[in-house]
Amino acid sequence: MESVKIGLLGLGTVGSGTVNVLQRNAEEIARRAGREIQIVCASARDLTRSRNCDVDTIRLTSDPMEVVCDPDVEIIVELIGGTTLALELVLKAIEQGKHVVTANKALIALHGNEIFAKASDKGVMVAFEAAVAGGIPIIKALREGLTGNQIEWLAGIINGTGNFILTEMRDKGRAFEDVLKEAQELGYAEADPTFDVEGIDAAHKLAILASIAFGIPLQFEKVFTEGIGAIGKEDVVYAEELGYRIKHLGIARKTAEGIELRVHPTLIPEKRLIANVDGVMNAVLVNADAVGPTLYYGAGAGAEPTASAVVADIVDVVRMLTSDPENRVPHLAFQSNALSDVAVLPIDEVVTAYYLRLCVEDKPGVLAEIAQLLADQQISIEALLQKEPVDGQSVVPVIILTQRAVERELNRAIYAIEKLDTVRGSVIRIRLETLK
């Protein structure tokens, strides 16, 4: 049987990794796919630079549209990133009846609804396993392995840069700014680290996971996003003293009122497996009605881990080349005419527990006053930690863990607490999840 011909857009880190994996494991991949898979052409911005892969048998061009329009190419693999040129190229490939594999989470999160609709009209597949959590097959698990379940909630460490920073702060007592600088030097964070540390990268991925888990359209714009820049060394220490660890989580939960979509720093009990996922590793915890909790762990980035997911998608497409479009696994797990319009909850309506850190004057009655302001909003205290004053200072840090409360009511309580004369500065708030 004739080999399936691939056109590759981008020969950077993941592109080179994809070439290496396809070439090194060519025989094993062909046995699994039923046909040989051959990269016949690829585009790269700089054709003169040295590569971390063998491109001797691959026709190179600086024009990605030339790859898309090659009549011999059946599958386009988009690895250039961004949401402008990449969108144009992907839509052009679909228009020409070519299948698409992409690792571009921003493209799927922002334009997936349009892309999948056009792909369905043309009867082609768009595969995107590598767009979320690198080499972890979490999309396949949600879309196929757990298809007999109702997904109740999922929580994921889905950005390695943020996890590396929080791990270093906990293990070595380092400040956020110092660890961020090292992450940039190590190549974990970009020169502009906004997408990583502010949670935008994780929000792209969470939008995709939630859509597949709950059968809703992609709605990146409705994901509440909060970064880790306000987390201090002391918060990491206090969390440990109370039996928790701080992780930058993406959380999606189905409730009777609607869907929660939120990315923010989160206290989780240190005994949870996901609390012990450190460094640049990723993990996603999924709770479903039939199977219960399942944890998916592995490398969330890197050349060959991500290439592993890209190649798996290519094999899936090759296996499905001869099947009728209506018999294929739907892009977002649910049939396109069965997606739900259930509401996404604003963060003010989310119910969770909280960690609060505030600095107060060391005098009688202060804690009672704060507790009363919380009680006025029907918020109960679960635990309280008051530190000793340092070097004769009159101000001491107080840490409060609350029971579950509506965010809107906590906001009212914080506003009232910050107006007290005995409270110095702003109240630091970190959400808390037990992940039971």
Task: Write down all domains in the chain, each with its CATH number in brackets.
Answer: 4-135+303-338 (3.40.50.720), 145-299 (3.30.360.10), 349-432 (3.30.70.260)
Q: Lowest mean pLDDT: which of 36-40, 340-344, 414-418?
A: 340-344
What does the buried/exposed string (b/e) look like for 227-246 if buried means 16 or more CB atoms within 10 Å of the residue's CB?
Answer: bbeebeeebbebbeebebbb
pLDDT tens for 249-259 read: 999 999 999 99
Rounded percentage of the chain residues whose pLDDT exceeds 90: 88
Evaluate whether 357 touches 418 at the Cβ level (below 8 Å). no
Mean of the pLDDT values across residues 295-300? 95
Mean of the pLDDT values across residues 403-409? 98
Calpha distance 4→34 (Å, rounded): 10
Q: What is the pLDDT of residue 378?
A: 96
Evaluate whether 90 touches 76 at the Cβ level (below 8 Å). yes
- Of 195, 168, 15, nearest to 110 by C-alpha is 195
Task: With a cut of 90, say whether residue 394 has pLDDT above it.
Answer: no
pLDDT tens for 152-210 read: 999 999 999 999 999 999 999 999 999 999 999 988 888 899 999 999 999 999 999 99
Mean of the pLDDT values across residues 409-432? 97
205 is catalytic: yes
Mean of the pLDDT values across residues 339-343? 90
Neighbours of 55 (CB within 10 A): 16
403 Rama sector, left if φ>0, alpha if ψ -120 to 50, beta otherwise: beta
pLDDT tens for 66-86 read: 999 999 999 999 999 999 999
Q: Catalytic pick from 140, 205, 247, 254?
A: 205
Paired with 361 in beta bridges are: 395
Task: With a cut of 90, say whether residue 266 has pLDDT above it.
Answer: yes
